[in-house]
Structure 1
Amino acid sequence: MRTVLVVGAGIGGVTAAVALQRCGWEVTVLERAAALGEVGAGISVWPGAAAVLAELGVKGIERSAALSGPVGLRKPSGRWVVGAADLGVELPVMIHRGQLHELITAEFGPAVTVRTGYPVVTVTQDDSGVLINNELRADLVVAADGLHSVIRGALYPQYAGPRYSGYTAYRGIADVRATDGGETWGPAQRFGVAQLIDGRTYWYATANQPAGQGGDLAAVVRRYGSWHDPIPSILAATQTALQNDIYDLPLPLVPFAAGRIALLGDAAHAMTPNMGRGACTAIEDAGALAKHLQAAPDPVTALTRYDAERRPVATQLVKRSRQIGQLGQLDNPLAIGVRDVLMAAGALAARGAAALRRKG
């Protein structure tokens, strides 16, 4: 049986493990943390990723979290800038990151072995396989080891690595059911609300600040506690907040394939969370990788085809997500006013185009 080492047991890594076991590979997942699992808050599952998970047999992701009230973009006062329906935006399924991880790992079969507490330090390869830490050898390695990927650094030491976006993010879960959703954009800061499939409310916020400054729930309340309803009540029902500075990878992205090593997820294309596409892109990477490994005569050819398919897609998402973040974090009042007018005009044009399509 062909063997593969998957480095990293985040969403992308475990999806790759399930996908590769289904096409006949013996999989060993290497995770540096002491236990298997995911920390975090909510995660968006867009249709492309949902289709991959459904094909892999992952169950429990359903569209049962629709908000009963309006969804769109607002000002801190509550005034609407544009509604999601006006733009024709399809909303994703929202689920807790830990729950999604459990649903995926539930599909691990006997062909998947997990080794936790195993940091990867070195990687070398030759024509016949790849060697990890001068100890573990396999026909193929999938590097799903995240933003600060050790394997990406070993393959491409000249690459600059993660780039700070200029803003930090807060995330939390509130034990209330929100009716309204979407995002609120203020000067240099944003606040978003979404309904999870388990009935709780996931919220996230961003703020311009230097890297490493930190912050907690009290800082979130100070920043956003006076914004429009239901933001104050959501924060009041929150016990704790996670805070992470936001980084992405500079363009151009490095190749996702080097011999018998494939980069996947944040190791390949870490992006800002402004489109909610990071984990979904990793899931889609895993589906594409398995497809090419099934179709190609040898792993090197398969990985070359995988790179050719996935790198252009990821490049556009990194670029677009970065641009959305730059717009959302504007702090100049004049620039903010122009942005809001253009967004409202775009919504009006989208409504008109939709009406014409219905008539035609």
Structure 2
Amino acid sequence: MKYKRCCACDYFVTTADRRCPNCGIADPRNERPDRGIPDIVAQGDTLTMETPMTDGARAAFGGFIGAVIGGFLMAGMGVAVGVAVGVSLGVLLGADKEWAPPELSQLAKRVIDCLRNDEETIRQRLSDIAQREQRLEETRQQVVTSVGDAATQERWSKVRQTIDSAAGVLSKQRDRYHAKLWEIALVRWQNALEPLAADWESLTHEACNQRLRQLERLRAQGKQYLDDWEGVDLTDLPEARRCLERLRNALESCDQLREALIVEQARLAVQGIAPVEEALTSTLGTGNAAMHALDVFNARAALGEFESAFDELEAEYNRLRSEDELAEKVTLVQRH
């Protein structure tokens, strides 16, 4: 399998990736002078990159067409009238944001599924949850300071229990979104490791050295993830526990891959020197270790698992959000 870095974000992609799984750009293997991600518009049956025409550009274009038409129809005032009509038409087209066919407009606004979009969504969810937790805490403090007779205090106690229950739900949801950020980091880390276990037939002595240096750097990054994540209580986060187990397995495979690269380097060094080459080849093989490492580093399988679980989490978030909005509406109705 041939790997190449995405021209927009440096994520490793293959010939099968029509879009970059990390940033969503189309044709990620093609080099572009602009490494940013421009607006998305539709062209035929695929999505391509194109810069939209501004309102001023439409007005200028309309004025030019109007002047040409006016010049053909009559001289003098005809040109002026043509320019005025053309500019007006261009402004109207620019002001009407829905002038394109409905299916084109909807396709252009469609969000491309990719890790960057998911990451941004998670950060928005965490910000929203933090605001809701702050409102709950402020309400709880007001309830705590409330006074009254025994019956009133019993009602306040039920209110506190309800607030504590809601805070517990938000806390669990916040932890699950944090775990999803872990998974995104792990998928990107696995993606950087994948190419190191591929294309063995093209390796040279220097290429082995380069891969060993890259492997050491990525292994150190993975160890840092492990140290950070092992200190977190994952009792109620099964997806985070699976993420941590996948990280441990990948780190073990890093050691196997390092051994395989060193053996391959030794094989290249003694290549053509019989019977040393035969003895080394029969004693230490590289294929099994390398293929096992490639299976463990399979970022595409991890990405598919992440997207499926993330959709479930988003559905749960939207359900709780709907219940919260409904409760607010009921409260407003009761007050009136």
TM range (shorter): under 0.3
Ranked by relative contact order (alpha carbons within 8 Å, sequence separation 6 or more), the top structure is 1
Larger radius of gyration: 2
Taking structure 1 as the reference length, the TM-score comes to 0.24
